[in-house]
Amino acid sequence: MNPSAISYHKTTCYDRNRMKGHPLDWSNQPRVFKAYDSIETIPLPKVDKLPETDLWHLYLSKTPKRLENRLDLKQLSQILSISYGLTSKRSYSGQDLFYRSVPSAGALYPAEIYFFAFNIENLQPGLYHYGIKNRLLTPLRKGDDSAIMSAVTNSLETQSLPAVFIISGIFFRSSWKYRDRGYRYILLDAGHLIENLALALKATDLPCAIDYDFDDEHMGRLIGFDDQKEVSLASVHVGGRSSITQKKLTKSAPLSPAIIEASSVSPVETVYEDIIDIHRSGTNIPKQFVKDPDISSKLGLNPLKWIPISQNKAPDKKLTYSETVLRRRSRRNF
């Protein structure tokens, strides 16, 4: 029987009567930058200018409904830089620590970005990984092969679909610290990144649609994941929605063992079965399912009345979207 979200939350919730402290194995700390050996990379163009859109205006403005402009390599570089780029660096205990444009639980950064390029000016069609540290693209599959097409497109023609981004999560980056609770933080981090990517696309006047329901096993095989260590969590379609849930997928040729091994981030990795189980329980979302009871019923709450929240006013001091992202920092006060 597959576990439910409620059962996983109950199993991994904070309970002072059964919580026990545990030391961290610093000698086995996960690497936060994924890289592939022996694959020629493509450097991204330098970003000379970031979007000057006011953050408040960006939130309230409507997303373009149609793709008016083509996506080129320079725009792609800008989008990746602001959605998941390095913003600052500091040294601690002889190590360089990097800030990124998204927050992360424990600064463990379990999320990675891949994308299928179909119609990006000055970039060959194929599947790419975005290397954050050195701003490099690593080609994992080349060309417009049928496996890529069937995985990420259905009714849309690829001529009108510049790219599809895939957000993944690497389990052990979070479970190294949070153990079986790690999946909570992996999803939290992925959510931050997905919204940041959507805002970056919107600031570039590019419409997008976010999809969480696809064939996880096929997508993992296509990108080259070790599915005990890394999984796909969401797809972001530039140019509009392309439903893939009902399409018969073309089986893709497996990638090399070296690519699959890149999902490993530590010499020794513990596999938490609760994390594997809860992820797999949501890989095929049924069209008809029994809805869980309302949370207020579960907690025995009976609200007297609902009060609508008024619209916030625009702040007096306005920042651009780019300034807000670049200034983002974590501050801990204990």
pLDDT tens-digit readout, 41-55? 999 999 988 888 888
In a domain, 81, yes or no: yes
The H or E element spanning position 238 is: strand 230-238
Rounded Cα distance between 89 and 91, Å, is 7
CATH number, domain of 301, equals 3.40.109.10
Lowest mean pLDDT of 9-23, 63-77, 211-225, 279-293, name the range.
279-293
Residue 245: pLDDT band with limits 50, 70, 90: very low
Q: Any residues with CB less than 8 A from the CB of 186 and at least 6 apart, and which?
A: 110, 111, 169, 170, 171, 173, 174, 233
Mean pLDDT value across residues 59-65: 81
Cβ–Cβ < 8 Å for 151, 244: yes
11/197 Cα distance (integer angstroms): 32
pLDDT at 285: 62
User: What is the enclosing helix (H) or strand (E) of 84?
Assistant: helix 73-84
Residue 333 lies in a domain: no
Q: What is the dihedral of CA 135, 140, 146, 151, to 10 degrees?
A: -70
Q: In 3D, which of 183, 211, 184, 185 has the Cα closest to residue 198?
A: 211
For position 293, what pLDDT does the model report? Answer: 65
Burial readout 109-126 (b: 16 or more C-beta within 10 A, e: otherwise): bbbbbbbbbbbbeebebb
CA 281 to CA 289: how far, in whole Å? 13
Is residue 73 in some structural domain?
Answer: yes
- For the ranges 159-173, 192-206, 212-226, 298-312, the lowest mean pLDDT is seen at 298-312
Predicted pLDDT of residue 155: 43
Q: What gap in Å lies between CA 32 and CA 45, rounded to an integer?
A: 23
Q: How far apart are CA 191 and CA 183, in angstroms?
A: 12
Cα 236-241-247 angle, rounded to 5 deg: 100
Residue 102, helix vs strand vs coil: coil
Consecutive H or E run containing 142: strand 136-142
Q: Does residue 232 sit within a domain?
A: yes
Q: What is the pTM of this model?
A: 0.87
Phi and psi of 115, rounded to 5°? Answer: -155, 150
Q: Is residue 332 part of a domain?
A: no
Does residue 18 belong to any structural domain of this protein?
no
CA–CA distance, 117 with 81 (Å, rounded to integer)? 17
Q: Which residue has the higher pLDDT, 164 or 314?
A: 164
**Residue ranges making up the domain that contains 210:** 5-13+24-326
Geometric angle at alpha carbon 237, from 233 and 238, rounded to 5°: 140
Flag whether 213 is in a domain.
Answer: yes
Distance set, CA 15 to CA 6, 272, 285 (Å): 15, 19, 30
107 token code pair? 């600064």
Is residue 244 situated within a structural domain?
Answer: yes
Q: Which of 22-26, 151-155, 290-294 shows the highest mean pLDDT?
A: 22-26
In the chain, the number of structural domains is 1
Picking from 197, 224, 193, 223, the residue whose alpha carbon sits closest to that of residue 208 is 197
Predicted confidence band at 333 (pLDDT cuts at 50, 70, 90)?
Answer: very low
Residues making up the chain, counted from first to last: 334
C-alpha span between 38 and 309 (Å, rounded): 54
Q: What is the pLDDT of residue 156?
A: 47
* CA dist., res. 312 & res. 328, Å (int): 21
- Percent of the chain beyond pLDDT 70? 84
